[in-house]
Chain A
Amino acid sequence: MAGDPDAFGVLFGRHRERLWAVAIRTLGDPEEAADALQDAMISAFRRAGGFRGDSAVTTWLHRIVVNACLDRLRRRAARPATAGADQQVLEILAADGGQRDPSADSDTSLDVLAALRTLPPEQQAALVLVDMLGYGVADAAQVLGVSVGTVKSRCSRGRVRLLPHLAHLRNRTAAPHVQSSQEGGSDQP
């Protein structure tokens, strides 16, 4: 491929929806997701010479996109949340609505995204790949560049942290008492 523009354009076309799915879930803001994706694609383009083989390329592209998103999440942690982002997602969801009941689905999706935002970036990325997008733990480990065990533990800790935020979505009538070990602390007897 070696940075051949046509091949790269095709590559982007082939993967763009999957990569977008990762970026929009990780960042929650369409504009920022597009920026991250763009950074990632330019970066991939510049380094494309070193990669061969379709399966490797898929993982590699995912990794670059995830890293671009994580960079932004970490930077974002240093500044206040952008209030308009969720509203933007909501508008797009509404415009995209079609047959769905936009209010119910959008509300739930926004709640989930908002809860996800409370997690450390690494846990967010793991949950986006494994729980939201259904990537295998081994694939996610490759994309994230960490061990399978690390992916599992990030997912577990992330779910535990999400639980208090999202329990009402599963069971709106009787929210279960959840004894959560807060702040991702270590296992307590």
Chain B
Amino acid sequence: MTRHVSAEKLARSRDGDLSPAAARRVTAHLAGCPRCRAAADALAGLPALLAATQLPPMPDHLAARIETALATESAHRAAGAPERPRGPLRASRRSGLPRWVVTDEQARRHARRPGPARRILAAAAVVAVIGGGGYALVATLGPDSGSTSSTASGASGSRSAAGPAAGSPGSAPAARPSGLNAPAVRSGGVLPGAAGAPDFGPVVQYNHDGRAGRFTPVRTSTAYLAADLGQQASAALARVRSPGPSGTGGPGHTSAGQGPAGGGAFSAATLARLPGCIGRVAGGQSVLLVDLATFQGAPAIVIVTAPPGSATGTQVWAVAAGCSSSGARVLAHRQLSEPAP
């Protein structure tokens, strides 16, 4: 008997990829060799075996995530930032809107394997984002949003070194403004202890694509929900500012010096990632709030930005924890349409 045929030669024979002479030799060998015939049969059956592989259709929450990313991308475009703006800020065009690709390995690691409840919530959140935001969201950046947060722009002018002073626990009023209770109670949206003062971290400086700024991360213990994100962010902003503004700063603003260490609530790893994350999300806008909190029950960073020197265009971003310079997974995006309280 001729020597056995290699599996590769069998495969090439099946594909008609052998010379006629070689193909004849293979055929002749197979006729007299059960072992190689069995291998050839197994090989022939492989495509069917592969084709029979059952895999699930795309889960709704993953489809929703992609749709959110597309809507966010689209929102950025609609806002007039087709490409990453370079050079000096053009605040009047609000061209400093951030843009990013969601590829962050860390974000993926943090966000993966959500529990069943969270999957459902995430899907619901996305519906809300797309339904209430998406393209329309930034399309309303025009004049009719002129009332958006005189507070925001006022505050950006009045930032002072007082921020870190608010960091000592108890220095802020314990009672929340009554207006904040409604959403909190309705949604169970504030974690125990949220009635206390926000916990301030150290001032963090960032530099992203040549745009420098600084901010003071806080923990307001707000459990942000998709349905209330805008309202909750306004409330958090108000709480953070009530005793004294948090040190935030767009380009050109002088801001607070180094504050208190911030205690253990702000881990070194988190603080190390924040500059890149915020720089990416802010994209040159002033950073009004960086709240290390939860969104839909999962760790998230809620960021409020506003175009420098503008009274309009205040925006809220909820990004998954793990956000860094290499990627930010946007969970939700709102424009603040009402003045911050």
Contact = CB atoms under 8 A, between A and B. Distances in A.
B28 interface: no
29 contacts: A5-B70, A5-B71, A6-B135, A9-B74, A16-B66, A31-B108, A31-B112, A34-B58, A35-B103, A42-B73, A105-B54, A109-B54, A116-B50, A131-B47, A132-B53, A152-B15, A156-B17, A159-B11, A160-B10, A160-B11, A163-B46, A166-B49, A170-B49, A176-B39, A179-B4, A180-B8, A181-B6, A181-B9, A185-B8
Interface string B152-194: 0000000000000000000000000000000000000000000
B102 A109 contact: no
A187 B11 CA distance: 11
Contact of B39 (A96, A163, A166): A163
B99 to A, nearest CB: 9
Nearest to B11: A156
Given A84-B113, A112-B50, A16 B63 contact: yes
A17 B217 CA distance: 40
Contacts of A153: 17
A100 B10 CA distance: 35
Interface stretch (A20-28, A55-63, A138-146): A20-28
B12 A156 contact: yes
Contacts of A171: 42
Interface in A61-104: 84, 88-89, 92-93, 96, 100
A25 to B, nearest CB: 6
A167 B70 contact: no
B10 to A, nearest CB: 8
A3 interface: yes
Contacts of B52: 108
A54 B337 CA distance: 39
B58 A132 contact: no
B6 A3 contact: no
A125 to B, nearest CB: 13
A42 B101 contact: yes
B65 A38 contact: yes
Given A45-B73, A112-B53, A170 B45 contact: yes
Contacts of B265: none
A16 B59 CA distance: 11
B55 interface: yes
Contact of B46 (A109, A113, A131): A131
A132 B50 CA distance: 5
A91 to B, nearest CB: 9
Contacts of B46: 131, 159, 162-163, 166
Contacts of A89: 55-56
B330 to A, nearest CB: 11
Nearest to A184: B8
A103 B210 CA distance: 55
Q: How large is the interface on A (under 10, 10 to 19, 20 to 34, 35 or more residues)?
A: 35 or more
Interface string B17-55: 100000000000000000110110111011101111111
A177 B57 contact: no
Contacts of A1: none
A156 B67 contact: no
Contacts of A8: 70, 74
Nearest to B6: A181
A117 interface: no
A96 to B, nearest CB: 5
B53 A177 contact: no
B89 interface: no
Contact of A5 (B8, B69, B78): B78
Nearest to A49: B82
A12 interface: yes
A159 B43 contact: yes
B8 A88 contact: no
A36 B38 CA distance: 39
B42 A167 contact: yes
B117 to A, nearest CB: 14
Contacts of B4: 179
Interface string B204-228: 0000000000000000000000000
A177 B67 contact: no
B66 A178 contact: no
B69 A41 contact: yes
A41 B334 CA distance: 22
A32 interface: yes
Given A167-B42, A178-B7, 11 more contacts: A25-B53, A31-B113, A34-B58, A38-B66, A41-B69, A84-B113, A89-B55, A108-B54, A112-B53, A176-B38, A176-B39
